Amino acid sequence: MEEATNSFSDDNLLGKGGFGRVYKGTLRSGEIVAIKKMDLPSFKEAEGEREFRVEVDILSRLDHPNLVSLIGYCADGKHRFLVYEYMHKGNLQDHLNGIAEVKMDWPLRLKVAIGAARGLAYLHSSSAVGIPIIHRDFKSTNILLNTNYDAKISDFGLAKLMPEGQQSCVTSRVLGTFGYFDPEYTLVSCLHIKSMSEVSIKLDIILLFKYYPFSSLQQTNQQCAV
Ligand SMILES: Nc1ncnc2c1ncn2[C@@H]1O[C@H](COP(=O)(O)OP(=O)(O)OP(=O)(O)O)[C@@H](O)[C@H]1O
Ligand SMILES: [Mg+2]
């Protein structure tokens, strides 16, 4: 991993998330990849380890053009690495915020929305692993774009496999990102496949109006949720 990322140099840094940094890397075969170097301080070591295992377990069983591919992983002592296909255009949120060079016109937004919806539909159908999978962290930083602006869903560490034959289940903890939750899931901890339709609509609202599902109203010190 060190060799591939030039010793995790800042020049190779692609981004930073809640569980560490992601670097651009080149494997010995010449293949360009994205390497997530998990940073697990002791207070969230158990949570990070669980997410690492779920990510490897679920993503290695999935294969769809609208899901990011897991190329490999490495667990060596306390070190944890995940190796993904490299997504040249980064995450959707940066594009909507105007950080990326290309302006997102309507046809491009529609293409991204359809791609992300196809990825979700594959997860919810039982064709992937025989039972539906609920992602639980579907948001604009987890929608990545390749050179053709095909959308691919990433980050399966919080994903949940639905109990056989069920469309919903009660969970012990509500997991995900604040602002994107389905309100019913938050209130009664009951996760339903339809919860993801709710989240998907929020992503469409972001794509249409660039209105984030949760924002602070500066003057009133209040917060506003879609
Ligand atoms: N396969 C990839 N190809 C290219 N860039 C990537 C890839 N995976 C992640 N990135 C970049 O690295 C950034 C950090 O990713 P990471 O998944 O660690 O955090 P996040 O999704 O932004 O936030 P959070 O941890 O809150 O979910 C992403 O926003 C994206 O820009
Ligand atoms: Mg992510």
Q: What is the DSSP code string of 48-79?
A: HHHHHHHHHHHHTT---TTBPPEEEEEEETTE
CA of 219 to the centre of ligand 2 (A): 31
What residue ranges define each of the domains in the chain, with the CATH number in brackets? 10-85 (3.30.200.20), 92-217 (1.10.510.10)
Instruction: Kindly report, residue by residue over 95-142, the tens digit of the pLDDT.
Output: 888 877 778 888 999 999 999 999 988 998 877 788 888 888 888 899
Which residue has its alpha carbon closest to ligand 1 atom 24? 17
pTM of the model: 0.86
31-87, pLDDT tens digit by residue? 999 999 999 888 888 889 999 999 999 999 999 999 999 999 999 999 999 999 999
What CA–CA distance (Å, rounded) separates 33 from 179?
A: 31
Q: Cα(5) to centroid of ligand 2, in Å?
A: 19
Residue 37 counted as an annotated binding residue = yes
Structure tokens at 21: 């940094």
